[in-house]
Amino acid sequence: MRAAVSPLRSGKGRAAALALVALTMGTALYVSRLDAIPIQPGNEAMYAFPPLRMLRTEDYLVPYYEHGPFLEKPPLTWWILAGSYKLFGTTIFAARLPGAMAALVTILVVAVWARRRAGPPAALLTALVLMYSFRFATFTRVFAADAFLTLAVTLAVMALDSAARDPDLPDGRAGVVAGLSLALAFAFKGLIGVVLPLGGVVTGLVLDRRRPERWKRRAPIAAAILLLVVAPWHLAMSRRFGATFWEQFYWRNQVLRGATAAYAHHPPGPSYYFGVLALATFPWFLLLPAVVLHRRAASSSDSAPLGWLLFGFAFLSALRMKREVYIEPLLPAFALLVGEGLGTARVSTRRARWAWAIAGIATAGGVLLWIRMAPTLTSLAGADACAALGVGLFVLSASLLATAAIRRARGGPFLVSVACGLLFIAILTVESRLSRFDPAPHWGRRIRRECGQGCEGLMLKLDFHSLDFYSRIEWREIGSVGDIRSCLTASKSFLVMRSRDEEKLDAQAIPYRVLDRRPWLQESWFQASLRPDVYPLQSLSLVALEPSDRTLPVSRRERGRDRPDGFRYISDPR
């Protein structure tokens, strides 16, 4: 046993080598293979497509999405993506690079703050904890706005905490920096960017039983700067949309979204974010109780990260609208707590070693789960990708258990970080293999070649807005085939539907042709692999419609027959 684990005891040299490998691997993971998986429907498509219209129309004030102005978010995220498209072209890489860079800058910022608070070891470990928190690594690839918000909230918490605690800081400088940081956070997501840092810093002060330094001078300066920065955008939007802007942006999106079930018909309960945080910060989550208990026993004088995490968690849990990605702005606070705890040798305590052991056992359970998933996952992603996932889980479990078994393991957290990196590579390999079951890239490029901007796109009971990005046209969701006739406005139109619903088109007097059918993995590969008795793939069809002929009479002899151009006559329901 000693021979097997001696590298972890051998001193600073090998621990430093492991740390260097972990940092290098993590940086490469965040910026490489950004285009390995297609643009995802939903949130990512909502941010990836509107900048294309901004560049085409040169109207940068208002993003347009789903056939109308999108007034629910500030525009800074779309401006950044538009700039990325301008520099690197309209590619998936350009859409995801800004979010990846924001994530790396966030890691650097929390490392700098941890160094000031607890020294270089804490800075390094804080960076690794955040870099290798499972959901932070995955969210930043597809949720650009939340990656930007996380960076802005981190900067705002640092600025506000410094303004509240540093008596030597000039009042003007403290107020200006705090106001600018709050304005930046607001510009990405609205009021949540102001509430999270303010509430977190105030909660930290309450935990420390400390009054803010000269707040009567600094707070008005910060508030004035915040209002001055955001006022021009509000005025411009008010001039164009009037009261509609205020209703959509503030009342519907900032109030109704959080306080009512208007946007969430079946909202999760108040304990929802416990499981989300545990998964998001795996495998570091179980160290949090040991760190918090140690802080309480040591009577730490600075509870800014703890206040940030507690307030944010309580605030998000109180909202009716809950989504997994909303937890992302709290992950830097978690990383600071755990990284500072590890950096001050708390990893050698009994509680921390138990945390490593439990995490290792849980990961070993993941290996057993992988065995159940293997048959379906092999058929979907290939034997090598499935095997890589199993090896990654095994290596992570072994590294966690080894760190728990050694009383003073200098390189333990670094070894765990490297193991996390290997597992993330395996997961990315699986997801890239599964991209062949997403027809949006192929269909979008085909549609763009055939008709450019002059087409209409319809989706029958599907949320497939990633097609907006690939085809460069805005697709419209419809609830039934009966809605097709009323939605067709272009000379050539396309319909995406489940293949099993093709026969429903026979009730419409519109010529159509099925251009392509492709398999589609609707649910996540994890969910699909857990049900080996259920076939995981559905078939989607791309259908070409010709609305210009919808008014032509169709003779009884022509019904159901093919036309010379390849379209099929459909019987008139009348």
- Each residue of 357-400: pLDDT tens digit? 999 999 999 999 999 999 999 999 999 999 999 999 999 999 99
Do 191 and 223 reside in the same domain of the chain? yes
Q: DSSP string spanning 349-408?
A: SHHHHHHHHHHHHHHHHHHHHHHHHHHHHHHHH-HHHHHHHHHHHHHHHHHHHHHHH-TT
Write down which residue in 437, 457, 476 finishes a domain.
Answer: 437
Do 403 and 509 reside in the same domain of the chain? no
Do 319 and 280 reside in the same domain of the chain? yes
Query: Does the pTM exceed 0.85?
Result: yes
CB 494 within 8 A of CB 470: no
Do 51 and 147 reside in the same domain of the chain? yes
Give the ranges where 434-555 is alpha helix by DSSP (H): 440-451, 466-471, 484-487, 525-529
Q: Is 563 domain-assigned? A: no
Q: Is 167 domain-assigned? A: yes
- Each residue of 80-104: pLDDT tens digit? 999 999 999 999 999 999 999 999 9
pLDDT above 70 (res 409): no
Q: Is 9 helix (H, G, I), strand (E, B) or coil?
A: helix
**Average pLDDT for residues 60-76, to the nearest whole number?**
90
Q: Give me the number of domains the chain comprises.
A: 3
Q: Is 568 domain-assigned? A: no
Compute the mean pLDDT over every residue in the chain, rounded to the nearest whole number.
86
Do 458 and 402 reside in the same domain of the chain? no
Do 374 and 452 reside in the same domain of the chain? no
Q: Is 532 domain-assigned? A: yes
Cα angle vertex 63, ends 62, 68, to 5°? 95
- Each residue of 212-259: pLDDT tens digit? 988 889 999 999 999 999 999 999 999 999 999 999 999 888 888 877
Put the strands of the sheet holding 537-545 in their side by side order: 475-478, 455-460, 492-498, 537-545, 512-521
Q: Is 565 domain-assigned? A: no
Range from 184-188, 268-272, 279-283, 289-293 that averages highest in pLDDT: 184-188
Structural domain boundaries enclosing 400: 1-32+351-437
Do 373 and 309 reside in the same domain of the chain? no
For residue 459, the domain's CATH number is: 3.40.190
Residue with tokens 């429903």: 504
Range from 17-26, 41-50, 217-226, 298-307 that averages highest in pLDDT: 217-226
Distances (CA, A) of 453 to 81, 86, 92, 257, 420: 21, 19, 20, 34, 44
DSSP secondary structure code for residue 484 in this structure:
H
Q: Is 233 helix (H, G, I), strand (E, B) or coil?
A: helix
Q: Is 477 domain-assigned? A: yes
Predicted local distance difference test score (pLDDT) of residue 7:
38
Q: Is 574 domain-assigned? A: no
Write down which residue in 344, 378, 409 finishes a domain.
Answer: 344
Q: Is 279 domain-assigned? A: yes
**Average pLDDT for residues 142-154, to the nearest whole number?**
93
Residue with tokens 């105030």: 202
Do 192 and 179 reside in the same domain of the chain? yes
Do 331 and 470 reside in the same domain of the chain? no
Do 284 and 324 reside in the same domain of the chain? yes
pLDDT above 60 (res 568): no
Predicted local distance difference test score (pLDDT) of residue 48:
92
pLDDT above 50 (res 172): yes
Cβ–Cβ contacts within 10 Å for residue 71, how many? 19
Do 184 and 330 reside in the same domain of the chain? yes
Helices and strands in the chain: count of H runs, count of E runs: 25, 5
Do 408 and 524 reside in the same domain of the chain? no
Give 542's strand partners: 496, 516
Q: 2-11, 28-37, 209-218 — which is least confidently predicted?
A: 2-11
- Each residue of 442-456: pLDDT tens digit? 999 899 888 766 788
Cβ–Cβ contacts within 10 Å for residue 368, how many? 10
Distances (CA, A) of 182 to 95, 235, 247: 25, 19, 22
Write down which residue in 413, 437, 461 finishes a domain.
Answer: 437
Q: Which of 207, 201, 151 is nearest to 174 (CA)?
A: 201
Q: 6-10, 127-131, 372-376 — which is least confidently predicted?
A: 6-10
